[in-house]
Amino acid sequence: MINRNKSLIMAFGLLLLLIIVGFDVMKEKEKSTVYLKDALQDKFYIGTALNTDQIMGRDTAAMQVVKHHFNAIVAENCMKSANIQPREGVFNFNFSDRFVAFGEAQNMFINGHTLIWHSQAPKWFFTDQNGNDVSRDVLIQRMKDHITTVVGRYKGRVHTWDVVNEAILDDGSFRRSKFYEIIGEEFISLAFQFAHEADPQARLYYNDYSMSNPGKRAGVVALVKKLMAAGIPIDGVGMQAHIGLDHPSLLDFEQSLQAFADLGVKVSITELDLTVLPSTWKNRGAEVSDQYEYQKQMNPYAEQLPDSISKSFHERYEAFFKLFLKHQQHIERVTLWGVNDGHSWRNNWPVRGRTDYPLLFDRQNHAKPIVLSIIQIANP
């Protein structure tokens, strides 16, 4: 009799345990089916950059993540002038057409990157048949043709454009790019005017890296004020946010965000990623032309990321998302610069061939714990 009772109690205990475990599993399942875009709905768009494999539908696993978690997209490379107009008057819209069509099919907020950027601009843009610099008038006409054709093609379909990218240096002065050298600072207002004429509904952004730097902040504030005073249509400032574990300071970042918002324009976090790798080169921005030689000791996490670094990564992302949520009334979107760690440009900058872990999804497209934390922070 005693043995029978014991067995009954044990069976009952086991059943209870199964129910509890089952309930926990269900809860976990429920948690994992909450997506970033749903958790951040009504706060700001949450976006990601797409590479050409994704745009062409070859990377189906990553595209599942995109469809589930994100409601905004930007093209990582295919809309840059060197890619979209490799020769004068010869446009390649294969990728950008697919990109925009995907965004529309998914009902996403679509961002165009970028119309006027000194980097990834084809050589022909600035030179004549003899290789000499073209005149101011010719360059203005080329800018106009480029912007009118690209923006015009996606009129009413691309919601925001990064009209001018990275025209201000860290000290707040103008970058001595070919656009600046040949046209002068007016190239910026002209670009915004041409974009506005091509699509009056599109929202137009100035976009740059190291925006938390006080020098650059002051330069960008001065630029935007000047454009606004002259009646140039500018709707937003894009803070790229290629951040590290120890830079920039949250306070500097917040001060810039506030300074841009105070101008009365929207702010977007346009290229968010967080490197965990060491840098002795003081590369804190995203100057694409900076490249250094590979050294093994500068690639310390080639196999896996130690727990202590994962923890710092997690806390740092949490701190930034708390900041974004605090300023949600000013922020139009927050976009990650890539879907998973394996896709990130950070693996190849400023040194080629390292293993970085800068994004929200790992190389197998699994959500890192930070995804759930963001979801929870957004819905306390």
Would you tell me which residues interact with ligand G3I (CB under 6 A)?
76-77, 80, 120, 165, 209, 240, 271, 286, 288, 345
| Of 159, 200, 152, the residue nearest 73 (C-alpha) | 159
Query: CA-CA distance, 112 to 270, in Å (whole number)?
Result: 11
Sole residue written with tokens 């980097």 = 119
Q: CB-wise, 244 or 375, nearer to ligand G3I?
A: 244
Cα dihedral value 131, 123, 128, 178, nearest 10: -100
Residue nearest to ligand G3I (CB): 345
Query: CA-CA distance, 248 to 283, in Å (whole number)?
Result: 12
What is the separation, in whole angstroms, between the first and last Cα of the chain? 52
CA–centroid distance for 244 within its chain: 15
Six-digit token string for 75: 């093209």
Q: Which of 28, 30, 166, 303 is catalytic?
A: 166
315 is catalytic: no
Q: Cβ neighbours of residue 121 under 8 Å, at least 6 residues apart? A: 80, 81, 82, 178
Q: CB-wise, 64 or 120, nearer to ligand G3I?
A: 120
Q: CB-wise, 39 or 212, nearer to ligand G3I?
A: 212
Query: CA-CA distance, 48 to 270, in Å (whole number)?
Result: 9
Query: CA-CA distance, 110 to 207, in Å (whole number)?
Result: 16
Least distance to ligand G3I, CB of residue 299, Å: 18
| Of 293, 275, 272, the residue nearest 284 (C-alpha) | 275
For 55-77, the DSSP string reads HTT--HHHHHHHHHH-SEEEESS
Least distance to ligand G3I, CB of residue 345, Å: 3
Q: CB-wise, 39 or 116, nearer to ligand G3I?
A: 116
Least distance to ligand G3I, CB of residue 80, Å: 6
Q: Which of 30, 271, 287, 315 is catalytic?
A: 271
Q: CB-wise, 39 or 285, nearer to ligand G3I?
A: 285
Query: CA-CA distance, 272 to 241, in Å (whole number)?
Result: 5
Query: CA-CA distance, 318 to 88, in Å (whole number)?
Result: 45
Give the containing element (helix H, strand E) for 111: strand 109-117
In terms of residues, how long is the chain? 380
Least distance to ligand G3I, CB of residue 250, Å: 21
Six-digit token string for 71: 């409601």
Query: CA-CA distance, 190 to 331, in Å (whole number)?
Result: 26
DSSP tag of 340: B
Instruction: Specify whether the backbone of 345 is left (phi greater than 0), alpha (psi in -120 to 50) or beta.
Output: alpha
Q: CB-wise, 343 or 368, nearer to ligand G3I?
A: 343
Q: CB-wise, 165 or 340, nearer to ligand G3I?
A: 165
271 is catalytic: yes
Q: Which residues are catalytic?
A: 166, 271
